[in-house]
Structure 1
Amino acid sequence: MSRYKPSGVKRRLSKALKSNSAVPAWVILKTNGKFRLNPKRRNWRRNDLKV
């Protein structure tokens, strides 16, 4: 990826980075294990971002 990035692309990349986290442990406890996985989880090798 290039070093220079337009601000729109940079913003979308940072949003994708933040949304790619696991479900917090306290949420799993609070929902009695109903929400264990983040359905929008993404791996950098397998899935492409359309930014």
Structure 2
Amino acid sequence: MARNKALGRKLRLAAALSSNRDPPAWVRIKTKNRVTRSPARRYWRRAKLDV
């Protein structure tokens, strides 16, 4: 991908990066480890973004 990105593409990539995280630790504590993974996680090799 090019080093110089358009602002819209950069914002979409930043949003995808921030949404690709595990749930915080307090969620595990609150749900007694019933919620350990996020269903929205995306692995960079398996699923590509449409940007």
Shared fold by TM > 0.5?
yes
Shift of 1:7: 0.3
> Matched residues in 1 for 2:31 and 2:21: separation?
18
Match of 2:22 in 1: 22
Cα drift, residue 34 of structure 1: 2.3
Q: Which residue of 1 aligns with 2:13?
A: 13
The percentage of counterpart residues that share the same residue type is 49
Which residue pairs with 1:37 in the alignment?
37
Tell me, which stretches of 5 or more residues in structure 2 are unaligned? none
For this pair of structures, how many residues does the alignment match?
51
Gaps of 5+ in 1: none
Scaled by the length of structure 2, the TM-score of the pair is 0.89
TM-score (norm 1): 0.89
Q: Runs ≥4 in structure 1, deviation > 2 angstroms?
A: none
Q: Counterparts of 2:13 and 2:45 in 1: how far apart (Å)?
A: 15
